[in-house]
Amino acid sequence: MFGWTYFDGTGDEVGGSMHFADEESAEEWIGACWQDLYENGVEEVALHDHTLGRRVYRMGLGPE
């Protein structure tokens, strides 16, 4: 299972996504929803592999 954790501009965790069966599904979802998240104050996200208990990667949503 994979899921996204949301972070605000100060790096504080502010929520998370539903869980997805695989990494590809999670990435497709964030590709479709990132703009709405950014407009609502989410500036970074981290993808987690909950099965292995590890963070896959973290990335910013806004302009660099």
- pLDDT (tens digit per residue) in 12-51: 999 999 999 999 999 999 999 999 999 999 999 999 999 9
User: 53 lies in a domain?
Assistant: yes
User: 27 lies in a domain?
Assistant: yes
Can you give the pTM of this predicted structure? 0.93
**Is it the case that residue 56 has pLDDT exceeding 90?**
yes
User: 34 lies in a domain?
Assistant: yes
User: 31 lies in a domain?
Assistant: yes
For the chain, the domain total comes to 1
User: 44 lies in a domain?
Assistant: yes
User: 26 lies in a domain?
Assistant: yes
**Is it the case that residue 64 has pLDDT exceeding 80?**
no
The 3-class secondary structure across 1-64, one letter per residue, is CEEEEEECCCCCEEEECCCECCHHHHHHHHHHHHHHHHHCCCCEEEEEECCCCEEEEEEECCCC
Confidence (pLDDT) at 10: 96
**Is it the case that residue 63 has pLDDT exceeding 90?**
no
Structural domain range at position 29:
16-60
User: 47 lies in a domain?
Assistant: yes
